[in-house]
Amino acid sequence: MAKPEFSARGVRIARWPRSLTRAGEVRIEDGRLALLTSYGSEIDSAPVTKVRAGRPWFAKSDEAVATVNGTRYRLTMDRAATDGGDAAEAERSGRFLAALRRAAGRKS
């Protein structure tokens, strides 16, 4: 089994207006984005070329929004998993967006 290109645990995954999991996982592996529950069950997945993601201007530094198969999910990185406060959280959500772009073959 290959190492995933990106993996973050302790991610709150919400589909407006309700939370699906407070300790989920976001994984990019073999050209697919997968949103998983804390138990490892798949919430949703799609090829990275079909996923749209970004950070809206109104989002906190530790949040990102991803549209997977036409469904919008709010992804909030776990504050307890980072040591450096807002800068580390912003860097972690920024790494997710950068990994998604890289896997999809997009620039910046």
Domain boundaries, the chain: 6-104
Structure tokens at 83: 């040591």
Domain 6-104 has CATH 2.30.29.30: yes
Q: Per residue in 14-40, pLDDT tens?
A: 998 899 999 999 999 999 999 999 999
Name the more confident of 80 and 53.
53
Q: Per residue in 72-103, pLDDT tens?
A: 999 998 765 444 445 555 577 788 999 988 98
Q: Is residue 59 very low, low, confident or very high in pLDDT (cuts 50, 70, 90)? A: confident
Nearest to 55 by CA among 10, 24, 6, 100: 100
Give the C-alpha separation, 12 to 46, whole Å.
19
Q: What is the pLDDT of residue 42?
A: 97
Neighbours of 54 (CB within 10 A): 12
> What pTM does this model have?
0.84
Task: Please report which residue ranges of the chain form alpha helices under DSSP H.
Answer: 86-104
Q: What is the pLDDT of residue 30?
A: 93
The residues facing 36 across adjacent strands are: 25, 42
Structure tokens at 54: 């970004």
Give the C-alpha separation, 29 to 79, whole Å.
24
Residue 107: C-alpha distances to residues 8, 17, 18, 19, 41 (Å): 22, 32, 33, 31, 31
